A and B are shown apart, each in its own frame.
Chain A
């Protein structure tokens, strides 16, 4: 896994490269110069207090902020997939139709079926989205994002609406899928533990800037990292 904390030596070719990103709604600045690099296949978790601009940053990377004032350099790969907090399935399309939405190749259906099998939903291709549980809907959304083999996967609190147990299962599934497909990942979350268990690197956004950046993953003391991240987020509870 790529471990990168930026800067030193010859620069590796980054999948994502953001320089001096500024975004504002009205007079108020939301992002005040964000710098961020993500290496190919690297899993980055983005933490930060509510309203600090995490979604704004993610939307900038997804190219969904055409009407927002701002400046900066954003380099992202061609193939970007987004998973939203709501599963955002088209209610009038079948599960399979949702997964293959926008695919233009002739074997789209076969690929969609494979992706659904990968997330454990083989056999539900013909169901309407409203016939699925919340966790299943989110799995369809995962299948939809991975079926296009993205170089970059953007996820904005994808498990925020799920119960704790389902969320743990989704963590395992996401890990598996990311290992299989190897996209770079930027995961926005409120959950410090989720960030630590899933990510190679955790960054904290505050006052429109990257305020803290830590390597996570194997070999890192979860307990002290957790304390440090919580402190950065303004929570000073003895864990």
Chain B
């Protein structure tokens, strides 16, 4: 009945659908005649937002910080028996002592080296196998079956065999981690690769991409989201494998330090070890996510 412009300019004085005040059907009201219009706040009908909203910095730290606060409060009020879980300040001072005599850094370096090497080899093996089996039928029939079988065997069940073959030295530990890491990398990268839209393959044909160009420009970037999903599983898996190999038979590393503390009943060192694992896990996951966001900036997703 009234034009949009007319309705907007009368909103201030009249209810939106009231009509009748000052405007007649068909009257054209200049939108800028209303002096209120320019100073009016931006009133928009609030549309419901289904996405999670803008990303905020350090938002990921809120949850862990709350947990630590709870721990401090429970210990300070005596609700938490120090024999069950050491007080946070004891753990901090323990950390200070262990750093002072160098044991913490030493064990941490060893652990990080094992996890890093295992992760590296696992990523390389998983990604190469995924590309080989994703791009050729021969590769798939040779590779996919064995990997699926490996997936069905819990990684840690292989440890006895690995100890028999390689003894209990570093090779066995890194290999255990590698075996745990390459499976999720392979699975997710392979799925990502197979999920590449056939239309892009057609496009590659029509623009005359070479085989190598096709892999570099279409296959690898197209499989990248899957690869990163696999990487996050892999990093978690690497820490799990690390804990196990270091606690079963080892003479160094964070896991060994904790295992030793258990025999002496040193809860504070055990809790310190847990905290170190937690921090390492958190840091590595954040690193992967950062990498992912950089590498996949072309994607439009809820993650933002």
Contacts and interface: CB of A to CB of B under 8 A. Distances in A.
B209 A102 contact: yes
Interface residues of B, number: 21
B205 A63 contact: yes
Contacts of B205: 63-64
Contacts of B213: 102
A144 interface: yes
A81 B222 contact: no
B303 to A, nearest CB: 15
Given A86-B199, A93-B221, A101 B298 contact: no
Name which of B199, B206, B209, B299 has the most chain A CB atoms within 10 A of its CB.
Answer: B206
Contact of A130 (B199, B206, B207, B300): B300
A102 B298 contact: no
Contact of B222 (A92, A102, A130): A92
Contacts of B203: 84, 88, 90, 101
B262 interface: no
B200 interface: yes
Interface string A39-76: 00000000000000000000000111000000000000
Contacts of A82: 206
A148 B217 contact: no
Nearest to B213: A102
B206 A81 contact: yes
Contact of B221 (A62, A81, A90): A90
A116 to B, nearest CB: 16
A88 B207 contact: no
Interface residues of A, number: 21
Contacts of A64: 202, 205-206
B204 interface: yes
Main secondary structure of the interface of B (DSSP, over half): helix
Interface string A67-110: 00000000000001110101010111100010001100000000
B173 to A, nearest CB: 37
Contacts of A86: 199
B206 A91 contact: no
A91 B202 contact: no
A14 interface: no
A92 B204 CA distance: 14
Contacts of B26: none
Interface in A122-145: 128-130, 144
Contacts of A90: 200, 203, 217-218, 221
A82 B98 CA distance: 67
B208 interface: yes
A64 B213 CA distance: 19
A137 B78 CA distance: 65
Contacts of B209: 101-102
B207 A144 contact: yes
Interface string B226-263: 00000000000000000000000000000000000000
B300 A102 contact: no
A30 B206 CA distance: 23
Given A62-B206, A101-B217, A91 B199 contact: no
Given A81-B206, A90-B218, A93-B217, 9 more contacts: A63-B205, A88-B203, A90-B203, A90-B221, A101-B204, A101-B209, A129-B298, A130-B298, A130-B300
Interface of B: 199-200, 202-209, 213, 217-218, 221-222, 224, 296-300
Interface of A: 62-64, 80-82, 84, 86, 88, 90-93, 97, 101-102, 128-130, 144, 148
